Structure 1
């Protein structure tokens, strides 16, 4: 598999946020979730860069961005995105967010007041309560998890990641997902981002969804075992004028399992060629 690299850097209060820009055309920003990185959005980035200028980055605490001890919660990720939008000089780009990335998009729009031309949310962590028993256990015992032997840690990450997919993930892709979470820095960063995950960050914006006036497309993997499809239906009803489309044969990791189907829905929406109907 071709190595995934982010060639550029933006400073966020002394912490490096790695990013890339690809293509030519109207600006589109893509935001990944957890425990993923921009690598997992590569299919969407590559497809859309034929017609758009695609801006992508790794969240702080993830992938190739700064993974040193510090705040990596949803409470800081919207501030990072706000900083990047200034760095890129983007006023009202199209934007796509998956998982925590979708939450980051919503928080940046509703808390930081950043305008987006159109918003695409893919299996977002948008409704409280959320957080698996695994998340709760890590929050209670972060230090103990961070101290497990490396081989046990890697087995934990691999098993955890596999639960996000409807079908088994190929080994090369799984290796690339797990790699940033290995080594002393990566291992600590993996448990840090889970320990700092809290539904209170969703509570802050959930009541504001009715204020969203921009067009919103919600995409959901039908077999999502992390966040049930019913959450997508609820979110659609909470955001005025939004639409929901369900992607078959895909789980929460729909960005890896069915990227072509996602692009088929995303491209006409962001090109404003069609107004998608509700699912």
Structure 2
């Protein structure tokens, strides 16, 4: 997986969604967050595909999927996932969601009525309030940010994503994260997804968390500075009979920082009958 390429394509209302499939076994769907892409799930995809048929994709407006101007908010991402589940003919898969991917999985379950065998949420954007001062600043000045010279924009993205990790990320990982956000389309898309971020999309799902009966695992990086552990503890209290596991020496980007620990927690949870 040295060169990350999603080989398959799905048309969502004339906007392209790129996806992939790997492995053989029970179905599992992996959903990334923001400002990430399926590239950041590559460690988990490779290992989980030994036990499962893993379906993965880039959210609308992210990675290799369409970055055309339009709705890329959480309000559309659950609709995209719902359509992809139909495309893949999946009725009751395990779902794993990181960051916005966790919110997308929860919205798809609660608002679209999709059944999941088990739900794994990794540092999800799921409990209000959320949104950094940078998000709010971009929301107020999206056009100005989109007009930044390329070299300044790339420096902004690199500096921003590095703050998601507890320890410095290596250059290859940073390159893989930054690449989809380069070029005119990528630059505009980066600020667009921030400008469209709105806690109303998590609020409408949050009101229904108490109705979740699906076995749910919540994983959290102890040093997450983007979404503090306290939010994970609050989410754990909102979802009946959920399980909370905390991973040490990791921040919000725990999927890159501690993939082996994340993998062990996922496999322990999914391979235990509940």
TM-score by length of 1: 0.97
Q: State the shift of 1:271 in Å.
A: 1.7
Q: State the shift of 1:272 in Å.
A: 2.3
**Correspondence 1:1-279 to 2 at 5 A:** 2-273=2-273
**Runs of 5+ consecutive residues of structure 1 not aligned to the other structure:** none
Coordinate RMSD, CA, aligned: 0.8
Give the distance between the partners of 1:246 and 1:2, measured in 2 at CA: 29
> Which string of whole-angstrom CA distances, capped at 9 and with x for unpartnered residues, describes residues 25-68 of structure 1?
00000000000000000111111000100000000000000001
> Which string of whole-angstrom CA distances, capped at 9 and with x for unpartnered residues, describes residues 88-144 of structure 1?
000010000000000000000000000000000000000111100000000000000
Residue correspondences, number? 274
User: 1:70 aligns to what SS in structure 2?
Assistant: coil
Give the distance between the partners of 2:206 and 2:156, measured in 1 at CA: 31
Give the distance between the partners of 2:226 and 2:232, measured in 1 at CA: 12
Give the distance between the partners of 1:174 and 1:252, measured in 2 at CA: 15
Give the distance between the partners of 2:245 and 2:203, measured in 1 at CA: 24
Give the distance between the partners of 2:46 and 2:176, measured in 1 at CA: 17
List structure 1 segments (4+ residues) > 6 angstroms apart after TM superposition: none
User: 2:18 aligns to what SS in structure 1?
Assistant: strand
> Which string of whole-angstrom CA distances, capped at 9 and with x for unpartnered residues, describes residues 188-236 of structure 1?
0000000000101011111100000000000000000000001111000
Give the distance between the partners of 1:135 and 1:33, measured in 2 at CA: 15
